[in-house]
A and B are shown apart, each in its own frame.
Chain A
């Protein structure tokens, strides 16, 4: 800075002119000491050029941010920090919260809803950056009810017209699996139960992909499928020592909550694996069940694409696939390689199991709970005559009215006796 200016504190010559609110000051850029405060009084001609500074501008706040909104914005930042999100996420989530607050319906909402809105903004930000945060986690952190969260979430997505991508399954598998406390021995985890993280992750991912392909994921909560897949992956990596461990015990020693549908997902996944095993020549002879199939999960996953194609049929595609195969066979030896490989896995014609089961979601495979008869065709016009007798069946007789009134009075009396005023 030219001129003979020295900082009285540190002696530096690096003085800068900084205008603090509407007053200009000379500040040392090294130690921050305020050297001069500028002119407090002005001449008459200077005053004509000055502009009035409003209170809200002089305090540095651009908008009139209500206390409620300020609290909400603080909560958004707190939540981002608790979740250890990157700093850019914080700014996006805060922006969404401010955007939401511009709507009168949100400004006038109950505190419970505003609290849940904090979670919604953070969740939307995470989804848009493919950060696998589940609604369950957010609700647990906010001590919020999922129903309340759900309503506010759907409302805010519609209100702000946002495009929120789906939860990324592969990323969720990675973060969720990493949270299982199984990668080091501890007092609760015996050495035979300790597993290599990468091996477990890779196998879990393959099992989740298999579940997705065989309709076990669509329409269902994603987490229980991953819990079941993690359990099977872990068991199959050392079946001799781990087959005796149940799903519940596994979750307990891994220090992870067991979601209720996980047992059902586990059974469904085992059924799929059993169907695939029926198509593998050296497993067919072993007559596997849901326990023993776990030992062969490695093999089944290795050939999963071929096995799924063979074990399940798709109703409409079946005929087309059959025709395509015939045409390909006529084409020549190029197809031979894949066919040889697949036929070596397969049994000779005579010993193949019964026709493959259809590849359908479990809800379509279960028999319907009750058969609804088709409703009879209605010939009602709406203008029919209404008979008096039909209406009178809905009216009380004078005697009934008297009885009802007596009963009501008696109940009233009984109430006043038991609750004296």
Chain B
């Protein structure tokens, strides 16, 4: 009586050590990937006039732009094919789809008579978007996070947030919609969103 025992009696169980709720709650919102830009080297010089002549899905206006613009239906993407043999593939919704699309473009170029290879495929940029579903006071955010934010309503309705870690640019709108860009891997988009969500709430 008066002093607490050093060890609890067998009748009183010890309280569990791990907390029921984690220290930082995740937002529960997953950004959706909207666009993937990738590049690949076909490894041989290309004659763009020939490609434009023999392919149905190609467009080539040398006076406007020095590359052939080619499109395929599945995955729905667009490619810019340069005479150096380098190619840019845009419009895919996932990394795997971007790679599959790039392979299909390479195959088309092969069938047109060029010894196309598939070298140094690389994802250059990933764009994601999501909706936090509550309005955001952009003028308040630019004050509290001035060193990362740029908000000029005379030029653009959204706030441009340049996150340092990960190195992602976010466009934040008053409606609560957020666009994330500049990622090389999917995890950077998710990480950036988890970083910004508590700031927006």
B146 in complex: contacting residue of A163, A386, A390, CB < 8 Å: A163
Contacts of B72 in A (CB 8 A): 394
Chain B 78-119, CB-CB to A under 8 Å as 1, else 0, gives: 000000000000000111111110011001100110000000
Please give the distance in Å from B115's CB to the nearest CB on chain A.
16
Q: Does B174 contact A166, Cβ atoms closer than 8 Å?
A: no
Known contacts being A363-B174, A363-B175, A382-B96, is A401 close to B135, with CB within 8 Å?
A: no
Q: Which residue of A lies closest to B158 (CB)?
A: A219
Indicate if the CB atoms of A215 and B154 lie closer than 8 Å: no
Give the distance in Å from the alpha carbon of A203 to the alpha carbon of B101 in the complex: 60
Stretch with Cβ within 8 A of A (4 or more), from B2-10, B12-20, B137-145:
B137-145
A222 and B174 in contact, given A166-B139, A378-B97 (Cβ under 8 angstroms):
no
Residues of chain A within 8 A (CB-CB) of B156 are: 150
CB pair A219–B155 under 8 Å, yes or no, is no
Asked whether, in the complex, the Cβ of A360 is within 8 Å of the Cβ of B135, the reply is yes
C-alpha spacing A87/B137, complex, angstroms: 36
A396 at the interface (CB under 8 A from B): yes
B174 touches A386 (CB 8 A): no
At the interface, yes or no: B176 with Cβ under 8 Å from chain A?
A: yes
Contacts A375-B32, A395-B55 given; indicate if A221 touches B95 (C-beta within 8 A): no
B134 touches A136 (CB 8 A): no
> Size band of the B side of the interface?
35 or more
B153: interface (CB < 8 Å): yes
Q: Do B108 and A395 have beta carbons less than 8 Å apart?
A: yes
Query: What 1/0 mask marks residues of chain B from 37 to 51 whose CB sits below 8 Å from any chain A CB?
Result: 000000000000000
Chain A window 348-378, contacts with chain B (Cβ cutoff 8 Å), 1 for yes, 0 for no: 0000000000001101100000000001001
Q: Which of A134-189 contact B (CB under 8 A)?
A: 134-136, 146, 150, 153-154, 157, 163, 166-167
A220 close to chain B: CB less than 8 A:
yes
Q: Nearest-CB distance from A411 to chain B (Å)?
A: 14
Does B161 have its Cβ within 8 Å of any Cβ on chain A? no
| Interface size classification for chain A | 35 or more
Establish whether residues B54 and A380, one from each chain, have CB atoms under 8 Å apart when the complex forms.
Answer: no
Are B154 and A222 in contact (CB-based, < 8 A)? Answer: yes
Chain B residue with minimal CB distance to A364? B175
List residues of chain B with CB within 8 A of the CB of A135.
Answer: 152, 154-155
Q: Please tell me if B57 contacts chain A, counting CB pairs below 8 Å.
A: yes
B151 within 8 A of A: yes
Alpha-carbon gap, A405 to B32, bound state (A):
44
CB of B34, distance to nearest CB on chain A (Å): 9
Q: Is the CB of A395 within 8 A of B111?
A: yes
| Most chain B beta carbons < 10 A, residue from A222, A364, A381, A400 | A364
Q: Give, as a whole number of angstroms, the nearest-CB distance from B148 to chain A.
A: 11
Q: Binary interface profile of A, 384-421, with partner B (CB < 8 Å = 1, else 0)?
A: 10100011111110001100110000000000000000
Counting from the closest, the 7 A-B pairs by CB-CB distance are A382-B99, A382-B96, A219-B157, A219-B174, A380-B96, A218-B174, A150-B155
Can you list 15 A-B contacts (CB < 8 A)?
A135-B154, A150-B156, A154-B150, A215-B135, A219-B153, A220-B153, A221-B153, A360-B135, A364-B135, A380-B97, A382-B103, A386-B107, A391-B104, A396-B56, A401-B53
The chain B residues found within 8 Å of chain A, CB to CB, are 32, 53-57, 72, 75, 93-100, 103-104, 107-108, 111-112, 134-139, 142-143, 146-147, 150-158, 173-176
Seen from chain A, the residues whose Cβ lies within 8 Å of a Cβ on chain B are 134-136, 146, 150, 153-154, 157, 163, 166-167, 215, 218-222, 315-316, 360-361, 363-364, 375, 378, 380-384, 386, 390-396, 400-401, 404-405
